[in-house]
Amino acid sequence: MKIFITGSLVAFAAGQDNLGLSGGYNNLQSSDFKGTIVKSSGTLASLNSSSTGFNFLPTDLLSQLAQNGAHHLGDITFRYRTLSSTSWTSVDSATSRKAVTQLQSLGTGVIAGADLAPTLGSARPLKVTREWLTSGSGLALRFNFTNTGSSSIELGSLGIPVAINNIFTNRLATDTQAKCSFADPYVGLDAGFVRVTPLSGTGNALVIAPLGSSNFEAWRFLQESPGSFGYQGQTYEGNYEWQIHSLAYAQNEWKSTTPWNTATSKTLAAGEMYSVGVRFVLADSIHTIEDAVVKSGTPLAVGIPGYVVPSDLTTRLYLNYTSAVKSIDAADFTIAGPSTTPAGVLYSLTPKSSAWGRSRITVTYADGKKQTVHYHVTKDSSSTLADMGNFFTTRAYFNKTSDPFNRAPSIMTYDHEAGAIVEQDSRVWIAGFSDEGGTGAYLATAMKEFVQPNAKEVSLFDDFIQDTVVGTLQQNGSFGVVASTFYYQPGAVNYTYNSAFDWTSWTSWDKARAYTTRRAYNYVHPIAAYWSMYRVARDYPEKKLRQDWSWYLNRAYNTTQYCLSNRAANCDYGLVGLMGEWVLGELLEDLKREGLTSQVTELEATMRYRANLWETEAVPFGSEMAWDSTGQEGVYYWTNYFNLTKTPIKAINSIFGYMPTIAHWGWNGNARRYWDFNYAAKIAQTERQLHHYGSGLNSLPMLNHYEQHPTDLYALRVGYGGNMAPLTNIHQDGFASAAFHSFPDLLKWDPYSGDYGPGFLGLSLGQCVYILSNTKYGDIAFGGNLLSTSGASIISVAPRDAVKRRVFIADLGLKAEISAGIISKVDFDKSGSTVTLTLASASRSGDLQAKSAIVWLKQPGSLSVGYKIDGAKTKRAGWSVDLSSGQATVKVVKA
Ligand SMILES: *[C@@H]1O[C@H](CO)[C@@H](O)[C@H](O)[C@H]1NC(C)=O
Ligand SMILES: *[C@@H]1O[C@H](CO)[C@@H](O)[C@H](O)[C@H]1NC(C)=O
Ligand SMILES: *[C@@H]1O[C@H](CO)[C@@H](O)[C@H](O)[C@H]1NC(C)=O
Ligand SMILES: *[C@@H]1O[C@H](CO)[C@@H](O)[C@H](O)[C@H]1NC(C)=O
Ligand SMILES: *[C@@H]1O[C@H](CO)[C@@H](O)[C@H](O)[C@H]1NC(C)=O
Ligand SMILES: *[C@@H]1O[C@H](CO)[C@@H](O)[C@H](O)[C@H]1NC(C)=O
Ligand SMILES: *[C@@H]1O[C@H](CO)[C@@H](O)[C@H](O)[C@H]1NC(C)=O
Ligand SMILES: *[C@@H]1O[C@H](CO)[C@@H](O)[C@H](O)[C@H]1NC(C)=O
């Protein structure tokens, strides 16, 4: 839905040049950077890599960012009080700019220095200086605070605004891709840093690391006016600051939340000076950001497989720093180690039985530095999925057959705070189970039944499909999918609309608008529901559904073709990548396995047209939004499928640009999203989302890229982080939230299930146990517990992922997948290149038990040795395995 504010193009007018651009610039140079600062304000105007010339700042727009209130690198904000006062005084160098006073004598390495008194406003017993200096091959920014009064002063907040070129407003897609960058924080105290990555995903990256002891405690969004570019809008997310201290916020604006780190303040005795700052360090590429962190002398933490830890998983933490680890404070984990590895000292962390939810560990080094690593512990993943399936098929199950919109039976959006189904919302689709915003609960349930089918839930879901998807979501015998089954039209329906809601917005569609069927995105969700029920019907034939498996498969196929065939003639947005359309690839594979050759030919023709189109486009990642992180998944899938050469790697690089790896569960593998709270959440605002569906969806191409390039461990870490993310949204009672609010006054899950669904779809189609041997990290497994010791000739792994049906052996470039039941153990015999899989009928006794399964083998990358299942019969393009006894052992051998 396209309602972003582009901001009116206010021409730069004389008088708004509060920054003082007319006074010219000074150069700032080190061996890695060429930059400029504005003479008058002393703030950074450009920061280019000396080797590539790439500029991390919006220098070309600076004249429209020169007004008071717009932040730049080099600004400072703080709150202070004298000890006799309880209230804080807030100061911000950008609020009312005045030319700063240049320092006359500069220290060694200092390129420019200023006393900030003029721009900090009224006189106070604090002197604040700012210096720009060289620091190794990079640059640094230092602030010295001196208490010039006669009594102590407490600094309750101290923040360094980080403004980079994340302004897309009025830029062409190609310019946005070529010029802009993203910033992602690691709130890791003395080990904290900001990653600045170009949107193209290629070229140099920037690391902003602490100078001396400049604790990275919190990441605060800076309120600014809309300005010329629609600040805090879809094309301009806005600026944040690195907070070295945050107590004054924690006590006030944030008092109802638990901050990421313990909030601190700093007391300065009379005459005392306090020096803080950041370093700018160039990384050759996004892949080598961690090397740049180590080079900057900052402690580095790397979690394998990541920072989301199911209760039955042991996770690894590698710490790379020159000073020894003195202690680790980790209340929720049992810690084993350390051992020494080429990647640093290695610890193993196992959650204690009481642990659940956000969990922070604090590492203290011998030199006094402290580092926090932020984990999220979940129940074991099978229990987590069971909880979710149960929650949505009971608490969110809508059964009012008198509903005039014919929405019963269905699985509806749920409001966890109200403890009720969202029967109405002025953004009608949220109550009309369409769009992404209204489908989260049902789509997640559909995919849960594919992964872990439960008889009662499957029946309820089948009723939803037979009685409501057919008839209400798809009406009058058509395969068209309506934009919303709920609408606002008091005259047209006997229904009491809540008069407390504002029904005047564009989002309160009338019947005619709600019943339009042109939005291509809306088709993927029912297709996924049909496909999932096809797989349940096909692979668990003892469970009787209301239709034969072929009915579900045909509905999935026809719904896809209705929208996307014939150059997507029936749909809008059919020629861009669609959220969750990875499932259309699964559908195509199943049509092939069923031998439905004419449908295969037709569906391939539909997709080939789209893929060939994307291959001709410079930036083929269009969507409803001006910039987006949703198209890459589908664009990658089909251009890779048809072996096109340019686009798949462009899609992967684009994802590298917006999907980081960071030692924090919320940012690790978090594909950038910051506007969808407006369309699908209870707390509707433009705000960086943690683990909105982008994490799960973008992980799919990233994991597939890794499978084709098993030496690219960085891709696996990013992809795995994103793929595990949808587990964190699931609460202890099974409710799953749309996303986590990252602004420090909220730091909580949104109460709506909203648009959770596509993220869970990503998890369902992506979860896999990855087994690899790496020269730095040793023998490692993502998604399972390593049972063998490092270096053993047989690597044994117990799967702990949420699907337990896929395994990838990096050494062989081999992926095995089963259609039903679970893989309970994997043994990879390195010397014989054989893999033994132990299978079981289900992960839980109360769920449907598979009586047989198909094993599929593929080699996604360049290795093509050819494997088979020893002694098994072929079926549905794989090998059939009998599971009637509840378990089986199969051996993958060279064909
Ligand atoms: C820095 O990059 C900008 C493009 O944003 C370019 O105009 C400028 O010339 C570059 N400066 C240097 C010193 O490379
Ligand atoms: C700021 O403090 C540092 C010590 O941390 C000192 O080296 C530097 O000279 C100081 N600069 C100014 C302008 O006071
Ligand atoms: C970590 O430390 C080791 C040396 O102890 C070094 O070889 C390695 O490259 C470092 N960096 C990273 C990113 O692991
Ligand atoms: C409808 O759902 C409610 C709440 O889950 C339940 O108590 C009730 O028994 C259901 N009614 C029918 C007819 O299924
Ligand atoms: C509207 O519905 C209510 C109860 O659902 C019913 O009592 C009433 O008669 C209906 N009114 C009309 C005009 O159909
Ligand atoms: C289905 O048919 C009914 C009756 O003609 C009509 O009111 C409704 O708008 C149609 N639905 C769609 C999606 O076209
Ligand atoms: C859908 O497609 C299949 C071919 O896959 C076709 O045989 C069937 O009749 C179509 N219609 C429906 C209503 O499923
Ligand atoms: C793409 O290339 C692979 C490997 O050569 C081949 O097996 C596959 O059939 C090709 N795919 C298509 C759609 O042509």
Alpha-carbon span 34 to 594, nearest angstrom: 60
At 58-69, the pLDDT tens digits run 999 999 999 999
Residue nearest to atom 6 of ligand 7 (CA): 554
Map residue 129 onto helix, strand or coil. Answer: strand
For ligand 2, the distance from its centroid to the CA atom of residue 193, given in whole angstroms, is 22
pLDDT of residue 2: 35
3-state DSSP of 633-663: HHHHHHHHHCCCCCHHHHHHHHHHHHCCCCC
Is the distance from the beta carbon of residue 858 to the nearest atom of ligand 8 less than 6 Å? no
Average pLDDT of span 396-416: 98
pLDDT > 70? residue 4: no
CA atoms within 13 A on the CB side of 173: 13
At 263-297, the pLDDT tens digits run 999 999 999 999 999 999 999 999 999 999 999 99
In this structure, are 231 and 98 located in the same domain? yes
CA atoms within 13 A on the CB side of 799: 28
Q: CA 319 from chain center: how many Å?
A: 24
pLDDT of residue 6: 35
Residue nearest to atom 8 of ligand 7 (CA): 554
The mean-pLDDT minimum among 405-409, 419-423, 654-658, 785-789 falls in 785-789
Q: CA 778 from chain center: how many Å?
A: 27
Tokens read off for 805: 């049906």
Q: Which residues of 735-770 are buried (b: 16+ CB within 10 A; e: fewer)?
A: bbbbbbbbbbebbbbbbbbbbbbbbbbbbbbbbbbb
In this structure, are 756 and 788 located in the same domain? no
Average pLDDT of span 4-13: 36
Phi first, then psi: what are they for 332, rounded to 5°?
Answer: -95, 0
Answer yes or no: is 5 within a domain: no
Answer yes or no: is 665 within a domain: yes
Q: Residue 244 is which amino acid?
A: I
Does this model's pTM top 0.95? My answer is: yes
For ligand 3, the distance from its centroid to the CA atom of residue 314, given in whole angstroms, is 23
Average pLDDT of span 869-889: 97
Is the distance from the beta carbon of residue 401 to the nearest atom of ligand 4 less than 6 Å? no
Answer yes or no: is 7 within a domain: no
Alpha-carbon span 164 to 185, nearest angstrom: 13
In this structure, are 759 and 722 located in the same domain? yes
At 352-376, the pLDDT tens digits run 999 999 999 999 999 999 999 999 9
pLDDT of residue 9: 37
Alpha-carbon span 875 to 895, nearest angstrom: 16
Ligand index nearest the alpha carbon of residue 213:
2
- Cβ atoms of 721 and 770 closer than 8 Å: no
For ligand 7, the distance from its centroid to the CA atom of residue 474, given in whole angstroms, is 15
pLDDT > 50? residue 468: yes
For ligand 4, the distance from its centroid to the CA atom of residue 582, given in whole angstroms, is 35
Question: Which of 378, 403, 437 is at the close of a domain?
Answer: 378
In this structure, are 591 and 489 located in the same domain? yes
Residue nearest to atom 6 of ligand 8 (CA): 643
Instruction: Report in angstroms the alpha-carbon separations of 714 from 146, 417, 628, 663, 670.
Output: 43, 38, 23, 13, 14
Phi first, then psi: what are they for 822, rounded to 5°?
Answer: -140, 160
In this structure, are 370 and 437 located in the same domain? no
Ligand index nearest the alpha carbon of residue 27:
1
pLDDT of residue 875: 97
Give, rounded to a whole angstrom, the gap between the first and last alpha carbons of the chain. 51
Question: Strands, E, within 660-715: which ranges?
Answer: 689-690
Q: Residue 353 is which amino acid?
A: S
Answer yes or no: is 13 within a domain: no
Q: Residue 165 maps to which CATH number?
A: 2.70.98
Residue nearest to atom 3 of ligand 7 (CA): 554
For ligand 3, the distance from its centroid to the CA atom of residue 374, given in whole angstroms, is 21
Alpha-carbon span 395 to 419, nearest angstrom: 8
Answer yes or no: is 454 within a domain: yes
pLDDT of residue 213: 83
- Cβ atoms of 772 and 754 closer than 8 Å: no
At 145-188, the pLDDT tens digits run 999 999 999 999 999 999 999 999 999 999 999 999 999 999 99
At 191-215, the pLDDT tens digits run 999 999 999 999 999 999 999 889 9
Ligand 1 site residues (CB inside 6 A) read 34, 46, 48, 53, 55, 59-60
- Helix (H), strand (E) at residue 697: helix 693-708
At 19-53, the pLDDT tens digits run 999 999 999 999 999 999 999 999 999 999 999 99
pLDDT of residue 211: 97
Residue nearest to atom 8 of ligand 5 (CA): 494
For ligand 1, the distance from its centroid to the CA atom of residue 2, given in whole angstroms, is 33
Answer yes or no: is 8 within a domain: no
Nearest CA-CA partner of 140 in 28, 49, 50: 28
Is the distance from the beta carbon of residue 494 to the nearest atom of ligand 5 less than 6 Å? yes
For ligand 5, the distance from its centroid to the CA atom of residue 628, given in whole angstroms, is 45
Map residue 121 onto helix, strand or coil. Answer: coil
Average pLDDT of span 728-749: 98
The ligand 8 atom at the shortest distance from the C-alpha of residue 604 is: 13
Tokens read off for 730: 């699931």
In this structure, are 526 and 634 located in the same domain? yes
The ligand 2 atom at the shortest distance from the C-alpha of residue 146 is: 14
The ligand 8 atom at the shortest distance from the C-alpha of residue 642 is: 13
Q: Residue 487 maps to which CATH number?
A: 1.50.10
For ligand 8, the distance from its centroid to the CA atom of residue 650, given in whole angstroms, is 19
pLDDT of residue 791: 81
- For a substitution probing ligand 6, which of 475, 493, 517, 571 has the most ligand atoms within 8 Å of its CB? 475
Residue nearest to atom 13 of ligand 1 (CA): 34
User: Which of 174-183's residues contact partners 24+ apart within 8 Å by CB, and which partners?
Assistant: 174/618, 174/619, 176/619, 176/627, 177/618, 177/619, 177/654, 179/55, 179/60, 181/56, 181/206, 182/657, 182/658, 182/672, 183/208, 183/240
Count structural domains, the chain.
Answer: 4
Q: How confident is the prediction for the chain on average, in pLDDT?
A: 96
Is the distance from the beta carbon of residue 557 to the nearest atom of ligand 7 less than 6 Å? yes
- For a substitution probing ligand 4, which of 391, 395, 399, 460 has the most ligand atoms within 8 Å of its CB? 399
Residue nearest to atom 13 of ligand 2 (CA): 129
In this structure, are 590 and 526 located in the same domain? yes
Question: Which of 265, 295, 325 is at the close of a domain?
Answer: 295
The ligand 2 atom at the shortest distance from the C-alpha of residue 275 is: 5
In this structure, are 362 and 278 located in the same domain? no
pLDDT of residue 123: 79
In this structure, are 537 and 448 located in the same domain? yes
Answer yes or no: is 61 within a domain: yes
Is the distance from the beta carbon of residue 12 to the nearest atom of ligand 8 less than 6 Å? no
Question: Which of 355, 378, 401 is at the close of a domain?
Answer: 378
Answer yes or no: is 6 within a domain: no
Is the distance from the beta carbon of residue 399 to the nearest atom of ligand 4 less than 6 Å? yes
Taken as a whole, the chain contains a residue count of 895
Is the distance from the beta carbon of residue 642 to the nearest atom of ligand 8 less than 6 Å? yes
pLDDT of residue 787: 96
Radius of gyration (C-alpha) of the chain in whole angstroms: 28
pLDDT > 60? residue 13: no
Provide the percentage of residues in the chain whose pLDDT is more than 70.
98
In this structure, are 368 and 389 located in the same domain? no
Burial class (CB in 10 A: 0-12, 13-18, 19+), 130: buried
pLDDT of residue 83: 85
Cβ-based neighbour number of residue 175 at 10 Å: 13
Provide the percentage of residues in the chain whose pLDDT is more than 90.
96
In this structure, are 696 and 752 located in the same domain? yes
Residue nearest to atom 1 of ligand 8 (CA): 643
Ligand 3 site residues (CB inside 6 A) read 290-291, 294, 300, 320, 342-344
Which range marks the domain in which residue 92 is found?
Answer: 21-295
pLDDT of residue 122: 83
Burial class (CB in 10 A: 0-12, 13-18, 19+), 177: buried
Average pLDDT of span 226-236: 96
At 75-134, the pLDDT tens digits run 999 999 998 899 999 999 999 999 999 999 999 999 999 999 999 988 789 999 999 999
**Helical segments of 297-399, H only:** 381-394
Burial class (CB in 10 A: 0-12, 13-18, 19+), 162: buried
10 — pLDDT class (breaks 50, 70, 90): very low
Q: Residue 324 maps to which CATH number?
A: 2.60.40.10
Ligand index nearest the alpha carbon of residue 641:
8
Tokens read off for 260: 């990421």
In this structure, are 266 and 312 located in the same domain? no
Location of structure tokens 């640094």: 140
For ligand 5, the distance from its centroid to the CA atom of residue 491, given in whole angstroms, is 13
